[in-house]
Amino acid sequence: MGSEKALLNYLWGGMLLAGMLWGAINGTWNEVTQALLDSAKESVSLGITMLGILSFWCGIMEIGSQSGLIGWLAKRMTPVLDFLFPELERQHTAREPIAVNIIANMLGLGMAATPAGLKAMQEMEADIRDEARTATASMCTFLILNISSLQLIPVTLIAYRSQYGSKQPEAVLGPALAATTVSTLTAVVFCNIMDLRKRNRSKRRKRMMESRNPEKGVSGAGNVREVTRHDPVDF
């Protein structure tokens, strides 16, 4: 993670220096300086605008969480969560942060969805049993759903358009809904296909093992039944 962050720092720093050098060579240094100052001003103004909008919606999400509305919505989303995450039991601690993350993403609040997403990943990571620390199918599905991100109200995009002087910042509602719906459906189909392939591969491997050692499997099963019936087993 540290090396990737350092690489990004080098990348952005190199692009900035290349632009400044190009401006100095072409004799447009004044334009470069003015662009830097204007960009700094716009970034501060945009940050203040986004802070107000995100604070409002994050406050709404917190009120919903404290009032029990998020928990109620999580229960109503049980059929959806059962379909998307069949490996997770209904009492699993990751289901509520997953529901919060999905709701926040549907409202276009990517920043508000991040804490719930991290919490959900931490809860699902506790289910990993292998030494290789391989991500579970639920973790992969959750990640892909966050990338596709169905949005009913793209609040962040509307705020950007409003900040930069759009006369109809809400005009993106239809296109954004259509695009994210297609991407989310594609993500769901992809996850189900990959999960089905994984299950079929496991079944084939199991059948191959049973066909190679049929007697060993039968005798092993008999030994297990005998021990279970007659002798106490210390774990």
Q: What is the mean pLDDT of residues 133-161?
A: 81
The pLDDT-based confidence of 132 (bands split at 50, 70, 90) is low
Q: Which residues are within 8 A (CB) of 8 and not within 5 positions of it... i.e. 6 or more apart?
A: none
Structural domain span for residue 72: 42-214
The Cα–Cα gap between 222 and 153 comes to 60
Q: Which residue has the higher pLDDT, 229 or 190?
A: 190
The Cα–Cα gap between 21 and 44 comes to 25
| Within-domain flag for 36 | no
Is 50 exceeded by the pLDDT of residue 8? yes
**Segment among 1-5, 53-57, 203-207 with least mean pLDDT:** 1-5
Measured between alpha carbons, how far is residue 162 from residues 10, 38, 50, 165 in Å? 32, 18, 11, 5
| Within-domain flag for 224 | no
The Cα–Cα gap between 217 and 229 comes to 18
| Within-domain flag for 235 | no
pLDDT in tens, 206-215: 888 878 776 5
Is 70 exceeded by the pLDDT of residue 216? no
pLDDT in tens, 19-31: 888 888 888 888 8
| Within-domain flag for 204 | yes
pLDDT score recorded for residue 173: 84
The Cα–Cα gap between 145 and 154 comes to 16
Is 70 exceeded by the pLDDT of residue 223? no
User: pTM surpassing 0.75?
Assistant: no
pLDDT score recorded for residue 228: 41
pLDDT score recorded for residue 231: 42
pLDDT score recorded for residue 203: 82
Structure tokens at 148: 């596709």
| Within-domain flag for 139 | yes
Q: Which residue has the higher pLDDT, 50 or 230?
A: 50
Q: Helix, strand, coil % (nearest 5) of the chain? A: 80, 0, 20
| Within-domain flag for 132 | yes
Q: Which helix (H) or strand (E) holds 187?
A: helix 173-212
Share of the chain above pLDDT 90, in %: 1
The Cα–Cα gap between 64 and 193 comes to 35
Average pLDDT, the chain: 78
pLDDT in tens, 155-180: 777 877 887 788 888 888 888 889 88
| Within-domain flag for 140 | yes
Q: What is the mean pLDDT of residues 218-223?
A: 46
| Within-domain flag for 27 | no
Contact present, 120 and 88 (Cβ < 8 Å)? no
pLDDT score recorded for residue 150: 78
pLDDT in tens, 72-122: 877 888 888 888 888 888 888 888 888 888 888 887 777 778 788 888 888
Rg (alpha carbons) of the chain, rounded to whole number? 26
pLDDT score recorded for residue 226: 41
For the chain, the domain total comes to 1
